[in-house]
Structure 1
Amino acid sequence: MHTIAVIPARGGSTRIPHKNIKKFAGRPLIAYPIQAALESELFDKVVVSTDDEEIAEVARKYGAEIPFMRDKSLADNYTGTGPVVADAYKRIKDAGTPIDYVACIYATAPLLTAKYLKEGFEFFLKEKADFLYSCCEFPFPIQRAQYLDSNGSPYPVMPQCMPKRSQDLPKAYQDCGLFYFHTPRTLVADGSKTPIISRGFVMPRHRVIDIDTREDWDYAQAMFRAVNELKLD
């Protein structure tokens, strides 16, 4: 069984310049997911896909491989991670590496640990899935969400759910942007008509943080300190 990890890390972050290698709790942000991937011992290769030489240098320092530099056409503000991971898969496979499974791990995941990568992959294999994504439960019933009109007056998204008790509404989950597992057929067309099997792997909320703004950054560092000081799982 041959498995690789791809960590996308472009250099063009605008809201937090050079976010992926900015010092976070004393180390470059990208060092944390690289460490988690290496410590999991799941992967034949831990590859960082980047267009930026400085990011590449930092990633190598922390143990990742940079077998190629990402094309600039896949490093703009509009390209999602799917094409980036597919590009990495094709390049590495074409270079002669056999690949059965591909993980995509976000560079902005300082709270991710090897434990959850291993548990997620174990669930992925057990379910014989083609695609698995990390997710977390919404902290409130989304069925009772409300819009605000231009005057600030609320009106419900699902009026029929407003009279119901929270505990009577089904739980809902969101993609938490930490990691994904793929079989190759979810990355490149293989002509198969077999339905793709997808699964969600539920993460604890204290391991989930989205870092897009300066406020997110400060909150993430506070969470990081709290998780480590309290020794949360």
Structure 2
Amino acid sequence: MKLAIIPARGGSKRIPRKNVREFAGKPIIAHSIGAALQSGVFDRVVVSTDDEEIAAVAREWGAETPFVRPARLADDHTGTNAVVRHVLGWFAEQGEAYDYACCIYATAPFVQPRFIRQGLALLEGSAQSFAFSVTSFPFPIQRAIRIDEQGRIGAMHPEYAGTRSQDLEEAFHDAGQFYWGRSRAFLDDVPLFSSASLPVVLPRHLVQDIDTHEDWLRAEHMYRALQLAGEISA
């Protein structure tokens, strides 16, 4: 049994009502719901929210909202894993046990069914606890710079100043789209960013974090370009 969990609280601060704001012609959460449904791998697609408007939109686009997320799990400090544990625990109380769960972010309009399926295949074919989306940094992080209080530049890793960029190790970061895990690993709070996880490597042009208004504008431009290129359906 496999469960998709889309966390979507109502109290977004930096972009108000972010989870139901229109993106490319529909509420942004609808993109995540659609990708989960189109992947064809889930027994249920559930949105965890404390907000009735979000719940109504989620149901309109095909997700289930069988419970209201408790207020204690809907503040600025609640981590994703706590939300996933709550959902798995709620279903366990209803007599439904899931072998795998996949947390899909509500503001991930670039998430694609093929990568969701790839993550599941990676996890099922291994003994690991998690598989989640990552992408590479576009520039060697070993060449990162800092700006001090006087406005002067300094190298964060001066030991690499003379190393050719092609000789530096490639680095990756969380792509912020989806997180597959064995339910037991979520419930036991196994660390995600560890050797317990496998990467689903996404191309950089299919990744954009959306936390600020600038992020949102950039994501809309990227999405239109991808539609014109035929990489994302209209």
Give the shorter-chain TM-score range. over 0.9
Could you say which residue in structure 1 is the equivalent of 2:22? 23
Deviation at 1:152, TM superposition (A): 1.9
Question: What is the deviation of 1:190?
Answer: 9.3
Inter-partner Cα distance in structure 1 for 2:112 and 2:198: 20
Distance 1:183 1:196 in 2: 15
TM-score, normalised by the number of residues in structure 2: 0.94
Who is 1:188 aligned against? 187
- Correspondence list, 1:63-212, <5 A: 63-189=62-188, 197-212=196-211
Query: How far apart in 1 are the matches of 2:158 and 2:148?
Result: 15
**Cα deviation per residue 1:55-112 (whole Å; 9 max; x = unaligned)?**
0000001110111100011000111111001101111122111200010000001111
Q: What displacement does 1:196 show?
A: 7.0
Q: 8 Å contact 2:45–2:64 — kept in the other structure?
A: yes
1:206-221 alignment runs, 5 A limit: 206-221=205-220
Q: Is the Cα–Cα contact under 8 Å of residues 143 and 156 in structure 2 kept in the other structure? A: yes
Contact 2:81/2:189, CA 8 A, preserved across alignment? no
Between 1:102-111 and 1:195-204, the stretch displaced more is 195-204
| Segments ≥4 residues shifted beyond 2 Å | none
Aligned residue identity for 1:176: A
Which one-letter code corresponds to 1:85 in the other structure? V
Distance 1:217 1:167, change over 3 A: same
CA contact (8 A) 1:104 1:179 kept: yes
Structure 1 residue runs of 5 or longer lacking an equivalent are none
Confirm whether residue 3 of structure 1 aligns to residue 20 of structure 2.
no
**Contact 1:21–1:55 under 8 Å retained in 2:** yes
Tell me the equivalent position of 2:32.
33
Tell whether the 8 Å contact from 2:20 to 2:28 is kept in structure 1 after alignment. yes
1:133 Cα offset (Å): 1.8
Residue type of the partner of 2:19? N
In structure 1, distance between residues paired with 2:4 and 2:147: 42
Question: 5+ unaligned residues in a row in structure 2: which ranges?
Answer: none
Indicate conservation of the 8 Å contact 2:115/2:200, yes or no: no
Larger displacement relative to structure 2 (148-157 or 53-62): 148-157
Amino-acid identity (%): 47
SS of 1:76's equivalent? coil
Task: Compute the RMSD of aligned alpha carbons.
Answer: 1.7
Match of 1:225 in 2: 224
- Residue range with higher mean Cα deviation, 206-215 or 170-179: 206-215
Distance (whole Å) between structure 1 residues aligned to residue 206 and residue 70 of structure 2: 32
Distance in 1 between residues matched to 2:197 and 2:213, nearest whole Å:
34
Equivalent position amino acid for 1:16 in 2? I
Alpha-carbon deviations, 1:134-161, whole Å to 9, x = none? 1100001101111111122121111111
More deviation, 84-93/148-157 = 148-157
SS of the residue corresponding to residue 129 of structure 1 reads: coil
Deviation at residue 189 of structure 1 after TM alignment: 2.8
Deviation at 1:127, TM superposition (A): 2.6
Partner of 1:47: 46
